[in-house]
Amino acid sequence: MLYTALDRNRGPITTVIASNEEEAREKIREQLDRDYRRQWYLREWEEAGEPVIPRRRLEKRP
């Protein structure tokens, strides 16, 4: 299933494929902790309480 990490304004940060929310949080943390460019997103996500939402499919972009 797809899970999307949200920032404090409920905006999407990144999406991962995982079997449950715990695995999704681990994968999101790995992605956001890769290099210095994403550290800001990691802090935003942590400060928001590490929210993730399940997504059944990707929406079409306009």
- Spatial distance between the Cα atoms of 29 and 25, rounded to a whole number of angstroms: 6
Q: Is 39 part of any domain?
A: yes
Q: Is 26 part of any domain?
A: yes
Contacts of 18 (CB under 8 A, 6+ apart): 1, 3, 24, 26, 27
Q: Is 37 part of any domain?
A: yes
15-42 pLDDT per residue, tens? 999 999 999 999 999 999 877 767 888 9
Selection from 18, 11, 3 nearest residue 41 by Cα? 11
- Supply the range of the domain harboring residue 22: 2-55
Q: Is 30 part of any domain?
A: yes
- Spatial distance between the Cα atoms of 61 and 51, rounded to a whole number of angstroms: 23
Selection from 6, 38, 41, 39 nearest residue 15 by Cα? 6
Q: Is 60 part of any domain?
A: no
pLDDT of residue 60: 59
pTM of the predicted model as reported, rounded to 2 decimal places: 0.77
Q: Is 61 part of any domain?
A: no
Please name every residue paired with 6 in a beta bridge, in sequence order, or none if there are none. 12
